[in-house]
Amino acid sequence: MKLKEILDPGSCSTNLEAKNKRDAVTAMAELLAVNPAAGGASVDEIVQGLLEREKLGSTGVGGGVAIPHCRMDSMNGFALALGVCRKGVGWNSIDGRSVHIICAIAGPGDATDEHLRILAGAARVLGKGNARHEILSSDTTFAMREAFLYHLVPVTSRLEEGRRDKRKLVILVLQEEETYDRVMELFLEGGIEGSVTINASMMGTVLSSVPLFAGFMDVLGRSRPEPRVVLTLLPEDRVDEMVSEIEGITGELDTHRGACIIVSDPLIIRGSLETL
């Protein structure tokens, strides 16, 4: 399923009227309820579902964005709504900022994997500053929806078994926490079914503890104390696409410090990296 298939034009608003978080959630529930996937779910039921999820932790992800979401047995499928609150609304966001862009998601209770991929896709789009700017600058719901979809990385379904025979081992070394988080979102969104993360140490960190090399940290680099090494297996025909998407997060790898990608041909692959 792709986000463009569940973002109904009628579920977009460029000017939400909301004085507080509950008002905003209610407005988003009204937008979700017009989606055919809502089935028999009422606005009140969707409001309740979204607010129950908020009790687990704020969905204000920072940057003026909130992504409230819930799972409901009465949903026929997934619905997504996109709204802009010009005056902003308090949301207990992780960065303390008011929320101006709200992306609400509701889906069936038994579709956890798909829900996670859709959630990751929305987070990736709204994590881009230029995407947020274009959405906030949109004068019509059509323009706002098009701006969102333009920046969208396709949400793919699970990998087909027939594509698993020619796989590459992809090794990532990521020194920045934010970069690691965004790459994990990309993997989830792209349907990558498993990866392994290893906490590591950069050379500068190790040598700085050796008395002989004390005082040379500026030369060796002030690296993140615990960079991440990520191992995953990708179908051969998806490697170029994934490397390109990762460079969209890190910047061009040939000129950007703090990240590295290594792709190799495993001699033998037995088993899986999927979570038990």
Do residues 113 and 167 both lie within one domain? no
Output the pLDDT for position 163. Answer: 44
Query: How far apart are alpha carbons 180 and 12 in whole angstroms?
Result: 31
Do residues 114 and 41 both lie within one domain? yes
In three state form, how does the secondary structure of 197-220 look? EEECCCHHHHHCCCHHHCCCHHHH
Do residues 36 and 111 both lie within one domain? yes
Domain containing residue 221: CATH number: 3.30.70.120
156 within some domain: no
Beta-strand pair 69-71/79-89: unpaired
Output the pLDDT for position 60. Answer: 93
Output the pLDDT for position 18. Answer: 92
How many other C-beta atoms are found inside a 10 Å radius of the C-beta of residue 260?
Answer: 15
276 within some domain: no
CA distances for 141 relative to 2, 13, 28, 130, 148, angstroms: 19, 6, 14, 17, 11
Output the pLDDT for position 52. Answer: 94
Helices (H), the chain: 3-6, 21-33, 43-54, 112-126, 129-137, 141-150, 177-189, 203-207, 217-220, 239-250
List the domain range (segments joined by +) for residue 227: 162-264
3-state secondary structure (DSSP) of residue 104: strand
The one catalytic residue in 69, 115, 151, 256 is 69
| Joined tokens for residue 106 | 């509701």
Do residues 186 and 248 both lie within one domain? yes
Do residues 247 and 169 both lie within one domain? yes
Confidence of residue 192 (pLDDT cuts 50, 70, 90): confident
275 within some domain: no
Tokens 């899986």 sit on residue:
272
Confidence of residue 159 (pLDDT cuts 50, 70, 90): very low
Would the pLDDT of 13 be above 80?
yes
Domain containing residue 29: CATH number: 3.40.930.10
Asked if 106 and 32 touch (Cβ cutoff 8 Å), the reply is yes
Query: How far apart are alpha carbons 124 and 112 in whole angstroms?
Result: 18
Domains contained in the chain, number: 2
Asked if 263 and 239 touch (Cβ cutoff 8 Å), the reply is yes
Average pLDDT, the chain: 84
Do residues 21 and 142 both lie within one domain? yes
Phi-psi region of 271 (alpha: psi -120 to 50; beta: other; left: phi over 0): left
Do residues 196 and 252 both lie within one domain? yes
Maximum Cα interatomic distance, the chain, rounded to a whole number of Å: 71
69 part of the active site = yes
273 within some domain: no
pTM: 0.67
pLDDT in tens, 61-109: 999 999 999 999 888 889 999 999 999 999 999 899 999 999 999 999 8
Would the pLDDT of 157 be above 50?
no
Output the pLDDT for position 8. Answer: 83
pLDDT in tens, 40-50: 789 999 999 99
pLDDT (mean) for 224-244: 86
Last residue of a domain, one of 117, 150, 183: 150
